């Protein structure tokens, strides 16, 4: 049985929180945990949970508002946090891991960008001076995003129907994180090849052929210790040449555009999902509108090499926006190998794109 994953669970909890804001204008911890008890995680094995969780009247004149949750989470990593499995913890005021603290954070952080968007959507029907039949549908389906190959980032989608008409201009998409700065976890060869192409890095023809033939073909499934050693050696070599090529590029004009294009693709995806990162003490958000503003303000990019520190780490390349000198993101390659000679094993080879502090939207006052 897989271990509970707080990030997967938070997708469901955040969906419940959105439902509470739509119904009651705020997040109430008791409401959140009440709905958690009603969710049967057994439905996640081969289907989803679907229920109208709130029916309220609001506005003047009064709108009849229903809020429906459609939720499909990974059973193995979430089943302990919902339904009958969670009920004893609910009754004893306990919770699993850091979930209780993260729920408290959601309750206490009222001036967030995502909540502001919800309130703007509510205004479309509460302030139109007529009594409407309103149905809010919140779909939490992180599994669908994983099956998209990384192009779809949204874990949750909110759709509004007013008098049975779908309001396309009010739809919202959110990508949930739980204390993580990882934007993309890529296979080293394909990820580096993509970055090389985006920034116009020119590899020597011999290197290009070597990386393509070995990493892209022969060593895809390295089996023998010799093949594994060669794979690690070549990936390290490719990483070094990629960094050197990026460092040599002019950092204005097309380079700025390529930098922001890479960030948008790995962060927001094709569905332009707002990123909401919920930790034990704070909420941080990355939104397309703020990144558009940053790009307009950026005249050039400064790339900064950070030396490797710690086991398995490698040199990191940071992308700073100028003139602010704030970091937008970083590229990082991580490897973990074990053994020597015939016992050589690859434990981990990962190529990351990670958010920098400058990518997060300022807090709302």
Highest mean pLDDT among 150-154, 261-265, 344-348 belongs to 261-265
| Sign of the alpha-carbon torsion through 293, 297, 302, 305 | negative
Mean pLDDT, range 153-164, rounded to an integer? 95
Which region among 7-11, 70-74, 140-144, 172-176 has the lowest average model confidence (pLDDT)?
140-144
Q: What per-residue confidence (pLDDT) applies to 1?
A: 45
Residues 80, 9: Cα–Cα separation, whole Å: 9
Q: Which of 48, 42, 49 is nearest to 80 (CA)?
A: 42
Task: Pull the structure tokens for residue 45.
Answer: 């094995």
Task: Work out the number of other CB atoms within 10 angstroms of the CB of residue 123.
Answer: 12
- pLDDT tens-digit profile of 186-234? 999 999 999 999 999 999 999 999 999 999 998 888 899 999 999 999 9
Task: Work out the number of other CB atoms within 10 angstroms of the CB of residue 301.
Answer: 20
Q: 233 vs 1, which has greater pLDDT?
A: 233
Q: What per-residue confidence (pLDDT) applies to 5?
A: 86
Name residue 284's beta-bridge partners: 277
Please check whether residue 258 is in contact with residue 195, taking contact to mean a CB–CB distance below 8 angstroms. Answer: no
63-71 and 156-162 strand pairing: unpaired
- pLDDT tens-digit profile of 65-120? 999 999 999 999 998 889 877 665 555 556 677 888 999 999 999 899 999 999 99
Name the pTM for this structure.
0.91
**Cα angle 248, 249, 251; round to 5:** 125
């Amino acid at each position: 049985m897989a271990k509970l994953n707080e990030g997967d669970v938070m997708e469901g909890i955040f969906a419940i929180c959105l439902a509470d804001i739509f119904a009651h204008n705020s997040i109430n911890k008791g409401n959140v945990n009440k709905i958690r008890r009603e969710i049967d995680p057994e439905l996640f094995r081969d289907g989803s949970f679907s229920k109208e969780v709130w029916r309220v009247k609001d506005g003047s004149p009064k709108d009849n508002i229903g809020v429906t949750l459609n939720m499909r989470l990974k059973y193995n990593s979430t089943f302990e946090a919902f339904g009958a499995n969670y009920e004893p913890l609910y009754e004893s005021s306990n919770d699993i891991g850091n979930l209780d603290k993260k729920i408290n954070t959601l309750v206490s952080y009222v001036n967030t960008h995502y909540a502001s968007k919800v309130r703007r959507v509510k205004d479309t029907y509460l302030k139109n001076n007529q009594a409407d039949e309103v149905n809010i549908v919140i779909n939490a389906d992180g599994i669908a995003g994983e099956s998209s190959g990384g192009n779809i980032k949204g874990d949750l989608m909110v759709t509004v129907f007013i008098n049975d008409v779908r309001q396309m201009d009010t739809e919202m998409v959110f990508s949930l994180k739980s204390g993580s700065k990882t934007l993309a976890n890529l296979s080293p060869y394909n990820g580096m090849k993509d970055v090389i192409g985006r920034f116009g890095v020119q590899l020597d023809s011999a290197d290009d052929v070597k990386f393509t033939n070995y990493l892209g073909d022969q060593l895809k499934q390295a089996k023998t210790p010799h093949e594994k050693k060669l794979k690690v050696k070549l990936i390290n070599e490719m990483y070094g040449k990629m960094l050197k090529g990026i460092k040599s590029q002019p950092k204005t004009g097309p380079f700025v555009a390529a930098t922001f294009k890479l960030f948008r693709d790995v962060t927001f995806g094709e569905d332009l999902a707002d990123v909401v990162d919920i930790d034990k003490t704070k909420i941080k958000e990355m939104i397309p509108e703020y990144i558009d503003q940053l790009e307009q303000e950026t005249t050039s990019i400064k790339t900064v090499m950070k030396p490797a520190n710690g086991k398995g780490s490698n040199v990191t390349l940071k992308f700073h926006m100028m003139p602010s000198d704030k970091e937008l993101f970083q590229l990082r390659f991580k490897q973990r190998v074990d053994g020597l000679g015939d016992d050589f094993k690859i434990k981990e080879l990962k190529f990351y794109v990670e958010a920098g502090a400058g990518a997060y939207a300022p807090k709302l006052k």
